Amino acid sequence: MDNYCLYCDERLQFRFNWQTLWQQNHTLLCATCSNELEPIVGDICISCGRSFDEESEPFRSGDQCYDCIRWESNPEWQGLLVKNRSLFRYNDFMKELIARFKYRGDTILATVFQERLRQMYQKEFSQKAYIVPIPLSKERLLERGFNQAEILAQMLGKPIPFLLAQHRTEKQSKKNRSKRLNVGKSIFYLENRLQSQLIHADIIIIDDIYTTGTTIRQAAKLLLLHGARTVSSLTIAR
């Protein structure tokens, strides 16, 4: 049975038998493309899940990275996020993979993340928590045709209460780091008819990329303000 790499279309040689019948995940990428993925494993920041290695020593203090220390030193933003966990490093290959999924409509690429996303969710988070994808503005959703965070959230097989909505804003991908960190008015608002579900709820925010943490913290701040007990996040890349 022949399959093809979802990224480069390389023909895959996959021996079909009863043992491999349910191993569809193994056929999604060729060996070359699979080797470009860098799973985040080992020593990480306990707050944001950033991978620590020898090169990251100047950017950490104890078990936290300096980005998280800066967030937690700001009274306006401290204590909002229990933790973030991410599957892969945001290297050049992952950047292009997500761009094809997110901006070019190649949504089948999301299946590359499905099994590992479920494993991380089951390992790191409460199964009773609400799954909340980061929303797109109505304009962005109309332009793109889908919300990538919603597709990822659906892979967890849990009901999704659409608690958050987003105002029209400049694209995050067009902002540099300083603009992303320049947090002004929240880009999110709550769907009024669902606010009662937030009371004492544990929330897991789903998004594609954790960059500076600004987007997720803005969402967390709003959710906590309206009664959520805790907020964590799960993303594909960090």
For residue 179, the model assigns a pLDDT of: 57
Q: Tell me what pLDDT residue 177 has.
A: 54
* CA 33 to centroid of chain Cα atoms: 21
pLDDT at 22: 46
**All domains of the chain, ordered by start, with CATH?**
1-35 (no CATH), 41-237 (3.40.50)
Beta strands 130-133; 202-209: pairing state = parallel
* Amino acid occupying residue 167: H
CA distances to 9, 115, 117, 169 from 123, rounded to whole Å, are: 32, 12, 10, 34
Global pTM reads 0.87
Measured CA to CA in angstroms, residue 165 lies from 121, 135, 202, 223 at distances of 23, 6, 18, 12
pLDDT string in tens for the chain (238-residue length)? 568 999 999 998 665 555 554 454 457 899 999 999 999 999 999 999 999 986 677 889 999 999 999 999 999 999 999 999 999 999 999 999 999 999 999 999 999 999 999 999 999 999 999 999 999 999 999 999 999 999 999 999 998 888 899 987 666 555 555 555 555 578 999 977 778 889 999 999 999 999 999 999 999 999 999 999 999 999 999 9
At 160 the pLDDT is 87
